[in-house]
Structure 1
Amino acid sequence: MSQTSGNASAPNGQRDSTVVAPSSEATPAERREVLSVLQRVFPNGSWTLASCAVTRLQGGVTNRMFLCVCDTAGPAMLVRIFGSGDLFNRLRENSLFAELASAGLGAPLLAVFSRGRVEGILPGTPLDYRALHEKHIYSLVASALAELHCFKPSEHSLPRKEATVSQWQFCEKLLSKAQELRCVPSEELCNGIPVRLNAELRSLLTILPVDDIVFCHNDLLGANMLYDPETDKIRFVDFEYAGYAPRAYDLGNHFNEWMGLTENCGLSAADPLSRYPTPAEQRSFVETYVATWASLSSTNCRTGSQRKTVEGVQAETRLCTDRLVIEANAFSLLSHWIWSVWAFVMASDPPTDAFDYIHFARERLRIMREHWKERLEPLQHLFGAS
């Protein structure tokens, strides 16, 4: 996606809505920074401290996000300023973001600048992790996820040759970053701990299946989903971690987010595992996902084979559901590994002081290790029976 040229006009005609993410008043320095960005990308607009209200949206643990509403500029806009570090290919991310917007799967892309982008506002309210347990809500999420998994990015935005490796490459990059940090910022990175993390990653990548690759969001916490009561639909936002991965990873990662560790700033007042979806909730979620996939795709969600009869569809649906529940729980372990190492890396240069990255990392590792055997054994039995 090419950068917005200097003669771009201020955006207009986009559907406006109220952003209800937790927020705080931007500091004077932040307001000046945001208005300076808007002046550069939309030089024909009027961007003054007197005419524009700038609010910092909470919840971003990688980037800084600001809601900007100006008296003379039409609908509200979201200004996203990227965090530091080199975990992401931002040019590719912006290109992918534009394609998702064109497909009706993401917010409008209004402009890009060297350290971020300006986005339109989607209607809806971010979900609290507690809402994920409501059957109506999680059924909508399951259907929206199946629709997203049908999306096929262009070769320019996400080369198909990376379809089997992009998520694994991210794991390797995280591990390399953690090893570079040594004992900073946490003692977990001393005394051979990276060696254990490396061994755990190798074990997971050996056991977990990689033959069911789709385009995944890879970060489906409640705050990255918007519920619009007018349309009764769920829309996803924040695609910076999106890429090719096994579909079961997206499901398992989302199941972990039911526990609410991310929304609680890395802290938890009670045992987070008490909020992990029950077997009945997992099956209900996956059944809805598979049914939606079947309605959108002419191929089997697990094998890619062409369906011929109603009986064949029903049999494949049961098979898909059984396998995906088992695989999602197994992939939840990889999700814990990824976000724990990510948190150690982020703690070295935290973009916010409102998130306890170290506690978050320790909790994710604790849960992964406590449930390692329990969640891998059914997968190994499944493979043994295949």
Structure 2
Amino acid sequence: MAVKINGFIEGTQPEELVKLLLSLASNWGDVFDTNKLKVVHLSGAMTNVVYRITWPKNTTGNDERTVLVRIYGEGSDVFFDREEEIRTFESISTHKYGPRLLAQFPEGRVEEFIHAKTLSASDLRDPEISTLIAAKMREFHNLNMPGSKNVLLWSRMRKWLIKARSLCSQEHAKEFQLDILENEIDILENELSQRHQDVAFCHNDLQYGNIMIDDKTKSVTLIDYEYASYNPVAYDIANHFCEWAANYHTDTPHVLDYNMYPDLEDRRRFVQSYFSSAGNQPCDGEVDQLIDDIEKYTLANHLFWGLWGIISGYVTNIDFDYIEYSRQRFNEYWLKKPQLLKGINGISQINDLVGVETRNEKSNGVVAHAT
């Protein structure tokens, strides 16, 4: 029997998955009893459905085996190439980062369960924990991963915009101004790519639920690499800072509170920790420049997850108000753009629009003359 997203709940054991778990248990020498499986749904995931599964290793029941089972969210393949994601997962594992991949089945996979505490929303604001996260991000960014090392951010957003347009109702397309978002992406790419920036292998989804900590050793582990790719370092940190506004374990997990966004002191401490974790003390100019870049990249981050929310709202049946989440991300984009990209909203934007039209007309064999 195939695993169904809505059918895999506590008290049910789909045959295919049980056979896979039985094979794993046999390889480990466990005495496997399906009647003693404990299945716990782990909340907070918005792309997949995640379960912790535990069983006694032996008949005495004094020792247990625990694995994590990830059921791929319906429609989630829209966002990334699943085979590429698995290769990334395995490659990161060979670098001794994160959990090991134990087994795969058509609708998901089984991963090593990390015996550590998943962070809470408030943990992100703990100065000690934030410093540890900054150092771990620096380590992650230093990974040399196989495949293309080109920035993926802009092409991925354009691809998602096409998908969002194909799915959206006219009402949502108008509300979210999908007809002008391609130009917004062009403006951001042009503005944010003007000067040299560090590009590295980025997590791209560093919310608190994807960070684990061992309270005894103070060791931090980053998990869930579905969206990982090469991108500007400033974008990855911007994504993390935007996640300070979220708490996915409330009665309204889609509601964002941007009063929780890190203030300048928090941002400066994080950036200084990020630089110094490599053993070098940064100068004030380096810190200030990265902070400025991060703030600008929050705009790209709002568009990125805004588009993600629109698509998810049409393809995913996970209990989360994706459309309202998108609404908040887009609202924040339009609110902050005039502050962060001064001059872009006026004549510069008009020039960009003229440039887009000129390029389009040239492609049709007509040379346009602006007056």
TM-score per shorter chain, which class? 0.7 to 0.9
Separation in 1 of the partners of 2:286 and 2:82?
35
- In structure 2, the partner of 1:20 is none
Gaps of 5+ in 1: 1-24, 296-312, 380-386
1:356 shift after superposition: 1.0
Distance of aligned partners of 1:46 and 1:275 in 2 relative to their CA distance in 1, 3 Å threshold:
same
Distance of aligned partners of 1:137 and 1:39 in 2 relative to their CA distance in 1, 3 Å threshold:
same
For residues 50-108 of structure 1, give each alpha carbon's deviation from its aligned partner in whole angstroms, at most 9, with x where no partner exists. Answer: 12111111111111111111123852000112123332211121121112122121112
Separation in 2 of the partners of 1:120 and 1:232?
20
Please give the residue correspondences for 1:266-305 in structure 2 after superposition, counting only pairs within 5 Å.
266-268=253-255, 272-293=257-278, 295=279
- In structure 2, the partner of 1:305 is none
For residues 317-364 of structure 1, give each alpha carbon's deviation from its aligned partner in whole angstroms, at most 9, with x where no partner exists. Answer: 4332111100111111111111111011001122412x1111111011
Please give the residue correspondences for 1:23-172 in structure 2 after superposition, counting only pairs within 5 Å.
26-29=9-12, 34-39=17-22, 48-72=33-57, 75-85=65-75, 86=77, 87-153=79-145, 155=146, 159=147, 162-172=148-158
Distance of aligned partners of 1:170 and 1:42 in 2 relative to their CA distance in 1, 3 Å threshold:
farther
Separation in 2 of the partners of 1:152 and 1:218?
16
The answer to whether structure 1 residue 325 and structure 2 residue 329 are counterparts is: no
The answer to whether structure 1 residue 248 and structure 2 residue 234 are counterparts is: yes
1:139 shift after superposition: 0.6
Q: Is the 8 A contact 1:130 1:260 kept in 2?
A: no
Separation in 2 of the partners of 1:274 and 1:104?
36
For residues 211-262 of structure 1, give each alpha carbon's deviation from its aligned partner in whole angstroms, at most 9, with x where no partner exists. Answer: 4210000000011100111111211111110010000001101000011155
- In structure 1, the partner of 2:335 is 370
Separation in 1 of the partners of 2:303 and 2:100?
32
Distance of aligned partners of 1:177 and 1:261 in 2 relative to their CA distance in 1, 3 Å threshold:
farther
Separation in 1 of the partners of 2:176 and 2:208?
35
| Larger Rg over CA atoms | 2
- In structure 2, the partner of 1:198 is 182
- Kindly provide the amino acid, as one letter, of the partner of residue 339 in structure 2: E
Q: Is the 8 A contact 2:20 2:103 kept in 1?
A: no
Please give the residue correspondences for 1:2-13 in structure 2 after superposition, counting only pairs within 5 Å.
none
- In structure 2, the partner of 1:207 is 191
Separation in 2 of the partners of 1:173 and 1:41?
38
Q: Secondary structure at the match of 2:35?
A: coil
Please give the residue correspondences for 1:200-239 in structure 2 after superposition, counting only pairs within 5 Å.
200-209=184-193, 211-239=197-225
1:40 shift after superposition: 6.6
- In structure 2, the partner of 1:11 is none
- Which residue among 292, 306, 311 is the counterpart of 1:345? 311
1:177 shift after superposition: 0.9
Q: Secondary structure at the match of 2:39?
A: strand
Please tell me the root mean square deviation across aligned C-alpha atoms, in Å.
2.6
Separation in 1 of the partners of 2:104 and 2:216?
30
Q: Secondary structure at the match of 1:88?
A: coil
Distance of aligned partners of 1:287 and 1:189 in 2 relative to their CA distance in 1, 3 Å threshold:
same
For residues 146-185 of structure 1, give each alpha carbon's deviation from its aligned partner in whole angstroms, at most 9, with x where no partner exists. Answer: 11111111x3xxx1xx32232222212211110111307x
The count of residues paired between Structure 1 and Structure 2 equals 326
Separation in 2 of the partners of 1:30 and 1:180?
37
Distance of aligned partners of 1:248 and 1:42 in 2 relative to their CA distance in 1, 3 Å threshold:
same
Gaps of 5+ in 2: 1-7, 59-63, 345-371
Q: Is the 8 A contact 2:176 2:327 kept in 1?
A: no
